[in-house]
Every structure is written in structure tokens, then in C-alpha cells.
């Protein structure tokens, strides 16, 4: 490998790129990482981490309200948005330093600049320096997509800007019905904003289990969030400090902010991909890769959101680790993209792993459904009008648990553990044989004995 300046050049200092760099360096490779913005990528800087911090903060008002039912008398309280943002910024800065330090401790070199491919083995840095590499890993992630250029699109913010607003908006319109839109709807509503969600589909959370979609929407609406489906934003007018959002239905909404969260696109532009011969997947706009994360060019790989496969941080990390072990560790590791648990940190929280009921019925001839909808123990004293949904999707022939779907407090934490059982192909009998842990919400997963529905697909004549 002495013919090249480095053995591995990583473009992008996010979670996936950093993991790949550290593992490759641990295998003895000479590694350089280029990051033009901030180390940590989408998740650490402008995604999962600051989002979860905001979610935690926005829950506090419910805790204060619920306290009265448990005998607490809490006086006048106040919330300061600027303090939240400042403290979040301090924590993100700490994590950014930690990411940089950990990469350097592994023996890799970090350069804070943009890198562009000049050919399959040559990169040009924004500083003017040229670096050659035997292998190149592209881990540049994704960015918010605002969709069609409607009139007034320049007035719209994305999740990126939402983390840095100078003031908490009294009223906000959010277009979108997926993870990001619903998480920010809960965040702003929790801090006291009047929130309206606009979504083009018939219901929020496209691709999720139908029962989850219905339950989550009902619970969000109980919390005062207005959800308008079946229409889109067609125009945004600015009036002084406020905005008027015009909808395809013909109605309009006044607000202090307008946010779009209608999807993300892979960061593939201006990287020199065409020059190096790296193919783009026409189906999703991401870098086309095989099961080993290899692109159309033998020495160039891509992982994470830039491939637009499964856009989740742990997936990018697993892909980065597998790439480094395969290429530099002489130990081929293939990432299994099946049965990936996921969570929506909306309010209420959603955790899901495996197949939805609809997916299972399409793939299996016999499907049993176990479902419960109950009032959590806390609500019996707080008086809050909220219910938890738990659902198991089971193969009626083998008894294997195919999917688990939870809506309610702690859904993500519960789902992470259930995902182990689902990945191990546990059966409903295994769940039934597990002792309940009482009193918890999660005990419902091992105490549901009778199916609420049984589906048998008739064979074609």
C-alpha cells in the first residue's frame, strides 16, 4: 500500500465514517478523515442527539401537570428557550470534541476541509492539497429536502434551523408526516407552541403498522396538536414577523414559523462522483452499493444515509464497522438489514421492530394478531387521558413473533430489548413462558394469551 499517501480516505466525519476510520486504523491502516463542517455528522450535530435533548425538555410540562395527582403542589413555573438552546449547544460542542479526539486517538488523521474525488484514488482538498488513497469511503450523509419550489419556499425552515431559533414560536406549521415532522410537533407543543401538522397522505407515519398510525394520531390530537391530512402547502407569504401558509385545500393558516420535514436527500452533489465513475442508484438518488457497501468502482465504498438504504445512525455505524473489518481486518462481515428496530420520539413515543400486520399478511398464509390498548398506571392517578398500544404480529404456522409495535412512554427502551427476541426468532410460546415483571407496561407483551385477530389467506383457485 506504500504507493498511496493513505490506505483509507474517509469523506465525512459522521457516526458511520468515524466508526469505519477508527476500526480501520485499529487494523493497522493509515487513515485520513475529511469533514468540512463539524465532526459528528447529522446525528450528533443536528439530528438524533439534540432532538432527544429537546424531547426530554418538552416532557417536563407534563410531569409538572401530572404531579398534582401524586400530592405535589408546584407553584409558578417558567421556561426559557434561550437557556435550552445554549445548554444544548454546549453538549453538542462537547460531543464534537469527543468524536474528533476518539478518531485521533485511534491513529487516524482528521482534516477539517472539503474533499472531492479527482479520480478513483485521488482526492483534492479545499486547501489545495492532493491526497492519494488505496480505498475511499464516502459517508457524507443526507440533508433536508424541501420538495417542489413553491412560492415563498425561502421562508421555510428545516429541522437544521429549528435547533437554532432565537425564540420559541407561539404558532408553527409543520409539513410532513414522518419521524422528523412528528418529533418536532411534539417538541414545540410540549414547550407551549400551537402546532399544526400538514401531511399529503391519508394518515401520518406512512409505512408503519396501521394500528400504530391511528393510535399515534389520536394521542397527538389529544395533546392539542392539529393534524390536517390529504393536502399540501402550496404557498407561504411573509407578513412582518409572521407567515400565512396556503394549503391545497384552499384554506390558510397564520403562524410565526413554517417548517418542512418532508424527506431527506443523499449528499452526493459536487463530490466528483461522476469523474471517478461512481454510479448513482436511479431508484433513490443515493450511491449505488452492493451488499458489502462497495460502489460501482472497486476501491470506493459508501455507507449510511448517502446510500439512501436505511437512514438510521446505528445502521451507518454497523455498515462502517463491517466495511473496515472486511477490507482491512481480513474478516468479511456482511450487514443484515432485516429486522432493524426503530423509534419515533414523538409524543407519545413509538417503538417498532419487524413486520407490520399488513406486511406479514402479504408474506405469510396464517397471521395471528395479539393487541392490547390500556391506560398506563401513572394516568390512573394523574388523570391524564392517554392510552398505551402494544401489538405482536405472529406467524400462525410456526408461532414465530414477526413484529412488535408499541406506542406509549418508554416504547423505544422496551423495543430495543424485544428486538433481540425477534432477531433470535423467538416464538409466541417463548414470550408466554417468560415471567411477567409487575407492575410494568411491558408485562403486557408476555401476558397476552388470546389472539385479537386471526388471518388466513385463501389459496388461489
438 as an active site residue: the answer is yes
Catalytic residue among 146, 215, 438, 455: 438
Pairing assessment for the beta strands 130-138 and 300-302 based on DSSP bridges: parallel
3-state helix, strand, coil in the chain (%, to 5): 35, 25, 40
Distance of CA 283 to the CA centre of its chain: 21
Cβ contacts of 300 within 8 Å, gap of 6 or more: 117, 120, 135, 136, 137, 138, 276, 278, 294
User: Which three-class secondary structure state does DSSP give residue 400?
Assistant: strand
Q: Which helix (H) or strand (E) holds 237?
A: strand 233-239
Cβ contacts of 189 within 8 Å, gap of 6 or more: 58, 195, 223, 224, 225, 347
User: What is the C-alpha to C-alpha distance for residues 233 and 220, in angstroms, rounded to an integer?
Assistant: 21
Could you tell me the CA-to-CA distances from 444 to 343, 438, 448 in Å, in that order? 19, 10, 6
- Buried b or exposed e, range 368-407, using 16+ CB within 10 angstroms: bbbbbeeebeebeebebebbbbbbbbbbbeeebbbbbbbb
**What are the residues facing 199 on neighbouring strands?**
229
Peptide bond into 348 cis (omega under 30): yes
Where does residue 336 rank: exposed (0-12), middle (13-18), buried (19+ CB within 10 A)? Answer: exposed
Cβ contacts of 235 within 8 Å, gap of 6 or more: 150, 151, 152, 245, 246
Q: Catalytic residue positions?
A: 438
Amino acid at each position: 500500500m506504500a504507493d498511496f499517501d493513505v490506505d483509507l480516505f474517509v469523506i465525512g466525519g459522521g457516526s458511520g465514517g468515524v466508526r469505519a476510520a477508527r476500526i480501520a486504523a485499529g487494523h493497522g491502516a493509515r487513515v485520513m478523515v475529511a469533514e468540512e463542517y463539524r465532526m459528528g455528522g447529522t446525528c450528533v450535530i443536528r439530528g438524533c442527539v439534540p432532538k432527544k435533548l429537546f424531547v426530554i425538555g418538552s416532557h417536563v410540562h407534563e410531569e409538572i401537570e401530572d404531579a398534582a395527582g401524586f400530592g405535589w403542589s408546584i407553584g409558578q413555573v417558567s421556561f426559557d428557550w434561550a437557556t435550552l438552546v445554549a445548554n444544548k449547544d454546549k453538549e453538542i460542542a462537547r460531543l464534537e470534541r469527543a468524536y474528533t479526539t476518539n478518531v485521533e486517538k485511534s491513529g487516524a488523521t482528521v482534516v477539517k476541509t472539503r474533499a472531492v474525488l479527482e479520480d478513483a484514488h485521488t482526492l483534492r482538498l479545499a486547501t489545495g492539497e492532493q491526497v492519494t488513497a488505496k480505498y475511499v469511503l464516502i459517508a457524507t450523509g443526507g440533508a433536508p429536502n424541501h420538495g417542489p419550489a413553491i412560492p415563498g419556499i425561502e421562508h421555510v425552515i428545516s429541522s437544521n434551523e429549528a435547533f437554532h431559533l432565537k425564540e420559541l414560536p407561539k404558532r408553527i406549521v409543520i409539513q410532513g408526516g414522518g419521524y422528523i415532522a412528528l418529533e418536532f410537533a411534539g417538541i414545540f407543543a410540549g414547550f407551549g407552541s400551537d402546532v399544526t401538522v400538514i401531511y399529503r397522505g391519508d394518515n401520518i407515519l406512512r409505512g408503519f403498522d396501521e394500528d400504530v398510525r391511528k393510535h399515534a394520531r389520536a394521542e397527538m390530537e389529544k395533546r392539542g396538536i392539529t393534524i390536517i391530512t390529504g393536502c399540501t402547502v402550496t404557498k407561504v407569504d411573509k407578513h412582518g414577523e409572521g407567515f400565512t401558509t396556503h394549503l391545497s385545500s384552499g384554506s390558510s393558516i397564520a403562524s410565526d414559523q413554517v417548517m418542512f420535514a418532508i424527506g431527506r436527500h443523499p449528499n452526493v452533489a459536487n463530490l466528483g462522483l461522476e469523474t471517478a465513475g461512481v454510479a448513482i442508484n436511479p431508484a433513490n438518488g443515493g450511491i449505488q452499493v452492493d451488499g458489502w457497501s462497495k460502489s460501482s468502482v472497486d476501491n470506493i465504498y459508501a455507507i449510511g444515509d448517502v446510500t439512501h438504504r436505511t437512514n438510521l445512525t446505528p445502521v451507518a455505524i454497523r455498515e462502517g464497522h463491517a466495511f473496515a473489518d472486511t477490507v482491512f481486518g481480513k474478516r468479511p462481515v456482511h450487514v443484515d438489514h432485516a429486522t432493524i428496530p426503530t423509534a419515533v420520539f414523538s409524543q407519545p413515543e413509538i417503538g417498532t421492530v419487524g413486520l407490520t400486520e399488513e406486511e406479514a399478511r402479504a408474506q405469510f398464509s396464517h397471521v395471528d394478531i395479539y393487541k392490547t390498548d390500556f391506560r398506563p398506571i401513572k394516568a390512573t392517578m394523574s388523570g391524564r387521558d392517554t392510552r398505551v398500544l402494544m401489538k405482536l404480529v405472529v406467524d400462525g404456522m410456526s408461532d414465530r413473533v414477526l413484529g412488535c409495535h408499541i406506542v406509549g412512554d418508554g416504547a423505544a427502551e422496551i423495543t430495543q430489548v424485544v428486538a433481540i427476541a425477534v432477531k433470535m426468532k423467538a416464538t409466541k410460546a417463548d414470550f408466554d413462558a417468560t415471567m411477567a415483571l409487575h407492575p410494568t407496561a411491558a408485562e403486557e407483551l408476555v401476558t397476552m394469551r388470546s389472539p385479537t385477530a386471526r388471518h388466513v389467506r385463501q389459496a388461489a383457485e
